[in-house]
Amino acid sequence: MQSRDHDTEPLRLYTYWRSSAAYRVRIGLALKALAYESVPVHLLRDGGQQHAAGYRALNPQELVPVLVHGRRVLRQSLAILEYLDECWPQPALLPADARGRARVRALAQAVACDVHPLNNLRVLQFFEQQWAVPQAERETWVRHWIGTGLAALEAMLADDPATGAFCHGDAPGLADCCLVPQLYNARRFGMDVEAWPTLARIERACLALPAFRTAAPEAQPDAPAAS
User: Footprint of a second copy on this chain (CB under 8 A)?
Assistant: 60-63, 72, 74-76, 78-80, 82-83, 86-87, 98-99, 101-103, 105-106, 109-110, 112-114, 116-118, 123, 126, 130-131, 133, 137, 140-141, 144, 149, 151-153, 155-156
Spatial CB neighbours of 177, under 8 Å, sequence gap ≥ 6: 24, 25, 27, 28, 31, 81, 93, 108
Residue 127: strand, helix, or coil: helix
Q: What single DSSP character describes residue 180?
A: H
Q: Which is nearer to a second copy, 72 or 208 (CB)?
A: 72
As measured in angstroms, the least distance from the Cβ of 15 to a second copy is 16
As measured in angstroms, the least distance from the Cβ of 112 to a second copy is 6
Q: Which is nearer to a second copy, 91 or 207 (CB)?
A: 91
C-beta of residue 136 within 8 angstroms of C-beta of residue 144: no
CA-wise closest residue to 162 among 207, 206, 97: 97
**CB neighbours of residue 127 within 10 Å:** 16
Q: Which is nearer to a second copy, 101 or 201 (CB)?
A: 101
As measured in angstroms, the least distance from the Cβ of 146 to a second copy is 13
CA distances from 94 to 102, 115, 173, 194, 219 (A): 9, 21, 6, 26, 26
Q: Which is nearer to a second copy, 31 or 74 (CB)?
A: 74
As measured in angstroms, the least distance from the Cβ of 45 to a second copy is 21
Q: Which is nearer to a second copy, 15 or 76 (CB)?
A: 76
As measured in angstroms, the least distance from the Cβ of 78 to a second copy is 6
Distance of alpha carbon 20 from alpha carbon 113, whole angstroms: 12
